[in-house]
Every structure is written in C-alpha cells, then in structure tokens.
Chains A and B, each alone.
Chain A
Amino acid sequence: MKKNRMSKLNKILEIPEEVYSDVPKISLVGFDEMIIENYKGILEYEEFFVRISTYHGIISINGYNLNLETMTNDDIRVTGKIESLDIERVTD
C-alpha cells in the first residue's frame, strides 16, 4: 500500500522509475554499447558471453570482444559487438 502511494507520487513528479526502485534499465546504443543500470553483480564474464544479474532477473549477452567498461555501483557499460540478448525472468 505504502509502495503504491509512493509510486503515485513519483508518477506525478515524473521521476524515472529506475531512480527510486531497483528496476533495471537496459539501454542499447547502436549494437556496440550497452548500459545496464541497477545491476546486482556479474555472474559470468567471457570475451564472448556476459551474464549480469539484476534484481528482477538475469541478462545474458552474446557477442564478441566484449569489455566491461566503467563499472560503478549503479551501472555497468558493456562494449563490443553485441549479437544477442537474453533475459531470464525471476518468478516469485
């Protein structure tokens, strides 16, 4: 109930959802750069395969020459040739 009211207020104020909640935001810039906000950690990292866990599921990226550029607490930037993107939803 409390959460609902918060979200209503935020909707009025038009604050982006990823700022106040832990919903991951995935943005692709071209096919070579990907920014994931609100991530939890890295599960696997190979040059051709990256698995990143978020609060709502797991994102797995296929490609080649994948680099993890600029890791901060909230977001991670993956660069390289991205071929495909899979999402594994966590069901409660």
Chain B
Amino acid sequence: MIIKRIINYIYGYLRIIVEGYYIERFINICRNKKYTMWNIKKNNDIKISLNIEIKNYKEICRVARSTHCKVKIKAKRGLPFLINKYKKRKIFVLFLLIIAFAIFLSSNFVWNIDIIEENGAEIENIMEDINQAGLTIGEFKGNVNTKEIINKVRLDRDDIAWMGIELKGTNAIVKLVKAEGKPNIVDEDEYCNIVSDKNGVITKINAQNGTANVKVGDTISEGDILINGWMEGKYTGVRYVHAKGEIEARVWYTKNKTIEYNTTEKHNTGNTETNYGIKINNFKINFPKGVSKFKFYDTIETESKMKIFSNFYLPISVIKTTNQEYEEVKKTYSVEEAKSLGIQEIEQELESEIENKNNIVNKNINTYENENSIDIYVTYEVLENIGTNEKIVF
C-alpha cells in the first residue's frame, strides 16, 4: 500500500470535487473503466471528494459530463507539480544542487586528524612525521594509503610499538601505542658485574655469585662496581661468572626550595570576556570587541572544528578566546608559615619519587633564614635495594 502511495506521489495525483445527483453512477462508470480512485469521501448530499491520477483526469471529466456532474480541482499533489513550482525558482534549485555537490566533494578529503595515544603517553613531533608521510589536512582520501603511511612513520621512529590509521568520514583517527624503553637485560649465561645505580652507603651485601667489591659501610657513587663478575679459587684461578646478589643501601634524596616572605599570588576574579574568530585552513579572522578592559588577564584559546554530522569535519574552525581577569594579591608569610609551607611542598614532591614509603628511615630538615626568604632543605634517608647488571666486556 505504501509503495502504491509513493508511486502515486511520483506520478502526481489530483484531489477533485464532483458535484451532482448521480454520483454513484459516476463512481461505477469510473470503476468499470478501471480508473483508480481512492479516499472517496462524501462532503454532503451531492458532493464527493476523491483522489485520481493525473492521466485519467480528462476521461473523468468526460464521464462527469455524461452523468451531469461538475468537476472541480481541489488540490494538485505529487512530484510533477512540485517540479513545476520550482521551475520558476531556478537559482534556488541550482544552489541546492551546488551545495549538495560541494558536500559530496568535500567529503572526499581529510579535514581532521585525531591522534589518540594509548594510556595518555605523549609522543613528540608525531604530527609532523605523519604529515611528512603523506597524511595531511586537506588530502584527498583516495590518495591516503594507510599501510604505506604507517610503514613510513614506523621506519622513521623507533618509539612506536603499534600504529593504526582509521578514516572515518572526513576524520582520520591515528592510534598510537608508545614503545617502552626496554631495560638492559643480560642473559643468564653471560658474564656480568653488578653496578650501583644510586649514591649511598651500603648496609647489607650478600653476593650469591661473584665476589663482593664493597663492604658494609662503604660509600658508593653511581657506576661503582658492587659485585664483581669473577671468582678466584686457590687452584682454579680466575673464573668469570654471572654475578648475583642482594645489596641494600642507604640512599639519600634531597630537595631544596627557596620561599620568599613577600609574594604576589594570582587570584581569579571570575570576570571573563570572550572573543570569537574563524579559521579557514590557515587563514584566521578575528572579531575583536576592542581592547580588553582588564588590566591583568590570562588568555585561553580553544579551537572547535565545525562538523555537519558526527564525523564530517569541515576545514573551518571557530576560535574562542577567553580573557580571564586576575588580581595580584600580595601575601606576606611569617617565618613559621613559610617554613611549614615549604616543607609540605617538598615532602609531597619527594614522596611521589620514592617507591616504597615504608622504607623511609630518617627525615632531615634544614632551614636557612635570609633577609627576604627562607631556604629549606629536606633529606630523606631510604633503605633500598640497588644494583643493575652490566655486561663484562673483554
């Protein structure tokens, strides 16, 4: 039924009013001549309205005349009438076609490149490399060979573990997984020394394989050999081994900070101004509202790409610049306040560096007061397992 309606709409149909005393006769004659009619409705005693096809209109008029009925056209519906209506508005139709064509054309280009890095790792200069490899904004989608680009980028760089390019609409989504720097692993059957990787004082040394080079209480610095990768026997002479052992050392972490008594702090007042601009590819137009009213302000620029559908990006973006006013508030700390503030800040920094907080043995705070500022030194003493393998090179 719906298909029939659509076909009727395409070919066009008329809603006519037939007026007369022999309406049943009119309907029956039309039916016998196989003219399709639908939605017949009686308006009053002598009037009916019905839908007919255009091509039968003249015949139906003839039938109506023979049954002494009057025919009046109430409405013309369907595609032929619509086209006829828009024939007079050629420019409108022309522009409609042009816009449709433009959308079709512009959907064949890449207008946006999204780079998604796994786990939020940042890879430097990846955009330039991708652009050089052939994926640029404004590139024809047919020319983008994703496999080739991936190969090129991966050849250039060695910090990418995996890369994928997905073309979605006018959007190119580049997914990256950063390769982690792999630790220096020395094979079990190769000869190696154990070397210190931190400065400290040895508290415990236990060489399971190899010869200990340091004693408990020795001060070591980075790069010193802790366990030598050889063993000396009375009869066997020098024999090289894969050094193994546990070394525990006191390691000091020190941080210092200078805190001034008189400081100025930025304080947002909450007043903002926004300006808008349009950026077409690399051409920028700003619509400023004159010079900013604020004395001190931060400028925050956000760029949002125009898109028609969920992934149909256009090469036009709207730039919104927000000026946030701030006040400079002068603050004076007393000596005690400055001290506690500085210690707190340093402690936070240090504790984020130390892996295991339970191993902290000692905390040492030194402060040196100056005329305008206070220097704070905080030292943490931590017991840690140290030592990394280093291959013996002959």
Closest to A68 in B: B40
Total residue contacts A-B, CB cutoff 8 A: 43
> In the complex, what's the smallest C-beta–C-beta distance from B378 to chain A, in angstroms?
86
- Identify the closest chain A residue to B30 (Cβ): A71
Q: Which residues of A contact B1 (CB under 8 A)?
A: 70
Digitize A25-58: 1 where CB-to-B-CB distance is under 8 Å, 0 elsewhere: 0000000000000000111111100000000000
Interchain CA distance A42-B1 in the complex, whole Å: 22
Contacts of B358 in A (CB 8 A): none
By the criterion CB–CB under 8 Å, are B48 and A45 in contact? yes
Q: Are B24 and A45 in contact (CB under 8 A)?
A: yes
Q: Is A69 touching B39 in the complex (CB atoms < 8 A)?
A: yes
Known: A46-B42, A47-B42, A67-B41. A41 touches B36 (CB 8 A): no
- A42 and B31 CA atoms in complex are apart in Å by 9
How close is A79's CB to chain B, nearest CB, in angstroms?
9
**Contact between B24 and A44, CB atoms less than 8 A apart:** yes
Q: Majority SS of interface residues in chain B? A: mixed
Contact A41 B38 (CB under 8 A): no
Q: How far is the CB of A59 from chain B (nearest CB, A)?
A: 14
Q: In the complex where A45-B23, A45-B48 touch, is A69 in contact with B40 (Cβ < 8 A)? A: yes
How far apart are the CA atoms of A33 and B393 in the complex, in Å? 98
Chain A contact-residue range equals 10 to 19
Which residue in chain B gives the minimum CB-CB distance to A70?
B38
Is the Cβ of B24 less than 8 Å from the Cβ of A43? yes
B28-58 interface with A by 8 A CB criterion? 28, 31-32, 34, 36-42, 45, 48, 50
Q: What's the minimum C-beta distance from B57 to chain A, rounded to whole angstroms? A: 17
Q: Looking at the complex, which one of B32, B38, B39, B42 makes contact with A45 (CB distance below 8 Å)?
A: B42
A72 engages B36 (CB within 8 Å): yes
> What is the CA–CA distance of A70 and B39 in the complex, to the nearest angstrom?
6
* Extra A-B contacts (7), CB below 8 Å, given A42-B28, A44-B24, A73-B34: A41-B28, A42-B31, A43-B24, A46-B42, A68-B41, A70-B39, A71-B38
B: residues with CB less than 8 A from A are: 1, 23-24, 27-28, 31-32, 34, 36-42, 45, 48, 50
